Amino acid sequence: AGLLRDIDTLFSEEAGSFIQLQFHELLERLGESAIAAFEAFWVAISSNRSLYPFAGGGVHPLNKYVMNYIRMFPEYCNTLNLVLKNQHPGVADQVTKPDYGPDTSLLTSCPMAYHLRSITSCLESNLHKKSQLYKDEALQHIFLMNNIHYLVQKVKGSELRLFFGDEWIRKHNAMFQQHAMNYERATWSSVVSFLKDNNPGSSSMSKSTFKERCKGFSIAFEKVYKTQTSWSIPDPQLREDLRISTSLKVVLAYRTFLGRNLAYTDDKCVKHTVEHVENSLLDLFGGSSRSLRNSRRW
């Protein structure tokens, strides 16, 4: 930007108009080359295909590559905005990256920001397609939760946040949180349904019904445990948050179910104590499949 001003100042007279014209034509060609490079990158992301789902539902390598690559772009913000300026006449005339401050709204609408958001939108679309490779709906949501959370963390933890803005971050925070809730619904609604009281007015259910419910819950819970201990949530805080959220729902339902039917809890059909269920949920998403052993009876 400084060089452009110097060229226009030094060669403002008629004698220097040729040099000035050549310089502006050079900027135009550089802008065209930059646009071509962005488009090629966009096409490479869009055309990245997978035949098989990514094991465990963790952060996909394509996501890591793209986000780590574009994290370098803010360092070249001034240069890129300068050469891209003429390619985007309708985009805000923001060339120089400001210092960290309260007003960075112009930066989110500069030419480089436009291309960064285009790249991540393409990446998100590709990740959604990859999620469809999973046959298990719950694992689809784990995969998307992991990968959108990764996007958000990469943007928040770098200068990219100046180009994406707070609204983008809020929107994508809501996205991965929604996938977490969808996972809980897809996985645990059917499991917890065994613990529901179909006759809320009565103090307890019949012993045969209790045994049937216990058996159904145990089979369903053990199946989830064996399957989902092999799933992966790489981010420690995200993994802990989902474990706790799941535990609050499942453990409360199980404790309430046993508490309503205390007369039968010495029966052998109660394979797992409340504490065992609670502790077992902490094993989920570790990336290594396990089988659940019976705990001592209630």
For residue 141, the one-letter residue type is H
pLDDT digits (tens, 9 = 90+) for 33-88: 888 888 999 999 999 999 999 999 999 999 999 999 999 999 988 888 877 876 55
Q: What is the C-alpha separation between 178 and 25, in angstroms, rounded?
A: 49
135: in domain = yes
Q: What is the C-alpha separation between 89 and 14, in angstroms, rounded?
A: 27
Per mean pLDDT, which range of 24-28, 32-36, 68-72, 282-286 is the poorest?
A: 24-28
Domain range spanning residue 78? Answer: 2-176
Q: What percent of the chain has pLDDT over 90?
A: 61
Residue 113 has pLDDT above 80, yes or no: yes
Instruction: Specify the 3-state DSSP secondary structure of 164.
Output: helix
Contacting residues for 104 by C-beta, under 8 A, at least 6 apart: 98, 162, 165
Residue 180 has pLDDT above 80, yes or no: yes
Cβ atoms of 144 and 128 within 8 Å: the answer is: yes
117 and 221 share one domain: no
Query: Total structural domains in the chain?
Result: 2
29: in domain = yes
189: in domain = no
Residue whose C-alpha is closest to residue 63's, from 204, 189, 235:
235
Residue 181 is encoded by which pair of tokens? 């809730």
CATH of residue 88's domain is: 1.20.1280.170
156 and 208 share one domain: no
Average pLDDT, the chain: 85
Where among 176, 210, 240 does a domain terminate?
A: 176
134: in domain = yes
Contacting residues for 154 by C-beta, under 8 A, at least 6 apart: 67, 68, 71, 160
Per mean pLDDT, which range of 87-101, 116-130, 228-242 is the poorest?
A: 87-101
**What confidence tier does 22 reach under pLDDT thresholds 50, 70, 90?**
low
Burial degree of 220 (CB within 10 A; 0-12, 13-18, 19+): middle
**What's this model's pTM, rounded to 2 decimal places?**
0.85
171 and 227 share one domain: no
264 and 207 share one domain: yes
Q: What is the C-alpha separation between 232 and 39, in angstroms, rounded?
A: 33
Cβ atoms of 118 and 149 within 8 Å: the answer is: no
Residue 237 has pLDDT above 90, yes or no: yes
Q: What is the C-alpha separation between 128 and 122, in angstroms, rounded?
A: 10
292: in domain = no
34: in domain = yes
Cβ atoms of 218 and 268 within 8 Å: the answer is: no
